[in-house]
Structure 1
């Protein structure tokens, strides 16, 4: 398997974006159309996929229920649709981390998320090591965002300690940054930044999370929005559909009223 100079340049660019003064904001896409919309928005510097949203678009529940070939095909369409670096949500690796990372790279992704599901730490570290090694095998580093679910499924009192232990281990294993969804408290965020270092912490944009500018001031490298962009889009479709089906007028995005 070979990668092009353009792929290498995109991987280099994605890694560098984590170290810039302004936080990397990733609005997650789930198909070519949403990817083009996101990439066309002023200030967009990279595109992330959302496994939950891709699965939903194909009629599957989240959690690796969608067949891997369908997930990879969606990633490929997104990567082909935009000129920006694409980082892919690879869930837990679909049972074969090396094969999944290779498939994602072949599809055009230059980085990816890999979640631990709170598996025993040694197993989770091995998965990170495998993903990193697979990236190197193809000739350039794969920008790995190693996710820990310490704040989602662990005891709240030990979430910070667990996240620090796991995140530090993933960075030592070669991950580029650590994704800690569920962490929203500024005090905890500061401690995670201190533990991981500059350009290493990634968070999920939920309503309770501080705004991106505040996160940047705290030292957070990136924030992504997971399934929320698709939900926002579907809420808009629902609103317009209900109005049209009830015989009420509804405004389209260009301000024209439809009877």
Structure 2
């Protein structure tokens, strides 16, 4: 890692320890990242759903590894600090995840997001996930590792009640002991639970996934949250706006539909496969 990247990693770390949360918008391609950088955001992340869906691939399965790497290399050349969502690490072997992290750091990336959720709706074994985090930090100690736990995310997607906060806290504390610099609990919306996690995590900043209608940035700041991520929100909003704008040309009186859900965006990679002819015509 170059001296410049080491300094950028330190700058990124400091952004998590101010009196206001780091607002981290998430890009899905180079153009979206460049536009966010031009708007003045100091840092940005990537969205694994956006990267995968834009390539016609499913999220959280490891299928978009090469697309993620290619995007990261390009974004790291922009005048903005870049953290990359690497899903579960694109490997079950801690040493291979560490090699990937080192490759990203060599390209100028300052952070990674590693999740414990698996595509079949289960959580990775706690011990193995801790081994992954430790391996990454031993290989690239300067890199900011944001350890994500999906204890609340899977119930949120299914419309179910979240488990006791202790489930997230157990994993969060274990990940911090393993070397994680911050903890990410998507699906966490209850203000009391957020305040409890902030308190119990101590110096490790809590990352919250912004939920429109459920969160307010100023309230999250008051609760002590260190980072607020947009996840796939911007990607889904961009798709929604583009589709509705195109539709409105021919149907000016049409009512706009709801924003694409995570599940709807996820199925874009295979929703129409059964309907496609064997040799679809080229339409430009």
Q: Verify: 1:238 aligned to 2:243, yes or no.
A: yes
Report the CA distance between 1:12 and its aligned residue: 0.6
- CA separation of 1:30/1:19 partners in 2, compared to 1, >3 Å: closer, same or farther? same
CA distance in 2, matches of 1:30, 1:104: 17
Report the CA distance between 1:67 and its aligned residue: 3.9
CA distance in 1, matches of 2:171, 2:161: 15
Gaps of 5+ in 2: 118-122, 254-284
Give the structure-2-normalised TM-score: 0.80
CA distance in 2, matches of 1:64, 1:38: 27
- CA separation of 1:208/1:195 partners in 2, compared to 1, >3 Å: closer, same or farther? farther
Gaps of 5+ in 1: 250-259
| Secondary structure, counterpart of 1:72 in structure 2 | helix
Q: Deviations over 1:86-131 (max 9, x none)?
A: 0000110011311221232233211010011221211111111112
Decide which of 78, 89, 93 is 1:93's aligned counterpart. Answer: 89
Q: Deviations over 1:212-234 (max 9, x none)?
A: 11101001000101111011111
CA distance in 2, matches of 1:157, 1:72: 33
Which residue is 1:76 aligned to? 73
Decide which of 181, 187, 191 is 1:182's aligned counterpart. Answer: 187
CA distance in 2, matches of 1:176, 1:184: 22
CA distance in 2, matches of 1:179, 1:107: 24
Q: Verify: 1:150 aligned to 2:151, yes or no.
A: yes
| Secondary structure, counterpart of 2:152 in structure 1 | helix
CA distance in 2, matches of 1:104, 1:4: 12
Matched residue count: 240
| 2:57–2:64 Cα contact (<8 Å) kept | no
The within-5 A match list for 1:81-230 is: 82-95=78-91, 96-117=96-117, 118-136=123-141, 141-153=142-154, 156=161, 158-198=163-203, 200-230=205-235
Which residue is 1:256 aligned to? none
CA distance in 1, matches of 2:154, 2:233: 20
The within-5 A match list for 1:61-72 is: 61-72=58-69
| Secondary structure, counterpart of 1:150 in structure 2 | coil
| 2:206–2:226 Cα contact (<8 Å) kept | yes
CA distance in 2, matches of 1:127, 1:156: 29
| Secondary structure, counterpart of 2:225 in structure 1 | coil
| 1:147–1:180 Cα contact (<8 Å) kept | yes
Moved over 3 A (4+): 153-159
CA distance in 1, matches of 2:194, 2:59: 27
| 1:167–1:178 Cα contact (<8 Å) kept | yes
| 2:147–2:175 Cα contact (<8 Å) kept | yes
Give the structure-1-normalised TM-score: 0.87
Report the CA distance between 1:157 and its aligned residue: 5.8
| 1:199–1:220 Cα contact (<8 Å) kept | no
Report the CA distance between 1:19 and its aligned residue: 0.3
